[in-house]
């Protein structure tokens, strides 16, 4: 089947979490990121905590949300630190928190540590959105990914997210499939189920229109073609926006 690249781009851009978590990120880079986010009407920007307040100011009056990362990228076990960092980010204007699950502890059988961190940060978030990063490239097997997905869901995640983008293996279709099945089958297991939907964020290594098309097709197959929206499905990437805009007709790309 021929890829309808403009149609994929129109569908994917509103789902994009435009990201700069590079070691060389600067205030100038964040300004450029926020300008691009406004121009393309993406779902959110995702920045280091030190850039949250600046991003919030730059995006004042825009529907683009500000996300930041906590316990990133190491996925340590310090719950008090994660809660304190979350509270500070929310005070600075973050709308969404992307928390790294203590994935190594989870792999070592310390599931209560992992659950307790998600639950504590969930409580600190209040009504703000919590995405839990599983680091699926390290969890590796679909069974382990599914188990971590269920743990995060039951501890109160609003989204489960594949990857930090800092590990040797980032998002894969196999990991995303295991997570979507967990969402489909266990959305009702989380606290407050039904108050707002449970979603998936695919992050790490997404660069092309074909990448976006593949993950959208996967979501359509498992969850149904009407499911993917900014409230349920995000694509986290730094360079994907340029690839999507490049295939749009001139007037659309210039917006």
Catalytic residues: 98, 161, 201
* Cα gap 248→16, rounded to integer Å: 16
Please give the structure tokens belonging to residue 119: 């639950």
DSSP E strands: which ranges in 163-223?
A: 199-203
* Cα gap 98→118, rounded to integer Å: 11
**Closest of 82, 146, 162 to residue 117, by C-alpha:** 82
DSSP E strands: which ranges in the chain?
A: 16-20, 44-47, 65-70, 96-100, 129-133, 159-161, 199-203, 233-237
Task: Using alpha carbons, list the distances in angstroms from residue 208 to 6, 85, 240.
Answer: 12, 33, 6
Please give the structure tokens belonging to residue 235: 């694509």
Q: Are 200 and 166 in contact (CB under 8 A)?
A: no
Q: Are 135 and 75 in contact (CB under 8 A)?
A: yes
**Closest of 148, 158, 152 to residue 197, by C-alpha:** 158
């Amino acid at each position: 089947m021929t890829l309808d690249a403009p149609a994929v781009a129109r569908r994917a851009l509103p789902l994009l979490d435009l990201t700069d978590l590079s070691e060389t990120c600067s205030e100038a880079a964040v300004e450029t990121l926020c300008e691009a986010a406004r121009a393309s009407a993406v779902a959110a920007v995702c920045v280091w905590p030190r850039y949250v307040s600046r991003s919030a100011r730059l995006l004042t009056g825009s529907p683009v949300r500000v996300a930041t990362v906590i316990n990133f990228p190491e996925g340590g076990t310090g719950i008090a630190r994660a809660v304190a960092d979350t509270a500070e980010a929310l005070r600075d204007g973050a709308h969404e928190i992307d928390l790294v699950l203590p994935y190594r502890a989870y792999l070592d059988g310390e599931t209560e540590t992992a659950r307790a961190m998600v639950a504590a940060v969930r409580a600190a978030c209040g009504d703000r959105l919590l995405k839990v990063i599983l680091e699926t490239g390290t969890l590796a097997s679909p069974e382990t990914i599914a188990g971590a997905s269920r743990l995060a869901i039951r501890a109160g995640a609003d989204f489960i997210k594949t990857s930090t983008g800092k590990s040797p293996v980032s998002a894969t279709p196999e990991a995303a499939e295991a997570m979507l099945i967990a969402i489909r089958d266990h959305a009702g297991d989380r606290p407050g189920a039904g108050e707002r939907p449970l979603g998936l964020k695919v992050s790490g290594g997404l660069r092309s229109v074909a990448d976006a098309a593949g993950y959208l097709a996967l979501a359509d197959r498992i969850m149904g073609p009407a499911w993917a929206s900014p409230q349920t499905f995000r694509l986290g990437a730094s360079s994907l926006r340029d690839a999507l805009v490049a295939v749009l007709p001139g007037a659309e790309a210039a917006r």
